[in-house]
Structure 1
Amino acid sequence: MPTAKAVEIDAFVPLESVDPIRIGEGYHLRPAGQVAAKPYKLLVQVLGRSSTVAVAKYAWSERERLGLLRVRDDVLELHAMRWPDEIRDRCELLPPPGRGVRRGDRGRARSDGRAPGAGADG
């Protein structure tokens, strides 16, 4: 696996172009020894001066993962990213077609801040 001991950068993109649902847990990175210090510092400078983040591949638990590199306080952060097939299609989450929202339902939702049919817990 080519990314077993390295992070392979695929692209530089604006952070706003990355759907937040794809961004997972984050980790602080540090260079592994003197050889890695120079490219680390260079990447910190490049990302720090621009309004972009790096989309990268890396190995984790013997799997190649997709990640997002960004700079915060002169430290590289690596955020795990979900592959497109790991995210459910939003259309699957819509309620089934049926009874529409009635005028009275909208009034109750505005007056108590809860969705129609929601109990006291929810």
Structure 2
Amino acid sequence: MTTARRMFIINKLLRKKNVVGKVAARYVAAGFNVTINPPLKGVDFTASKHGVRYAGIVLWQKKKIGEEIISKAKEIADKYKVKPIIILYGSGPVIDKDTVAKAGEAGIIIKRIR
């Protein structure tokens, strides 16, 4: 159950009608403190909970995701001291199992939201 304040923030994010807002609204509903368009270059949103800070990279275009996104996420993690999350929104982005395995070894979280 969410509080009235969280529901207000969720509805505000959903009214923007963009993919990053929809994904960020899910993180707010899960109890994270979310910032959209943070001053971190290459990051769509940041979320923090229990002292752990995550950097979310949202991909929704219909294309194949390769190794370059993994190296970009590693670079962001090293530079800003955050845990990177790559979020694949919808059925558009395609990612290989090899890329998923390399991301797991690097400590990068990959999630698909439909």
Counting helix residues as a fraction of each chain, which structure ranks higher? 2
What TM-score range do you get, normalising by the shorter chain? under 0.3
When normalised by structure 2's length, the TM-score is 0.26
Q: TM-score, normalised by structure 1?
A: 0.25
Q: Which structure exhibits the higher relative contact order, with contacts defined as CA atoms closer than 8 Å and separated by 6 or more residues?
A: 1
Structure of larger gyration radius: 1
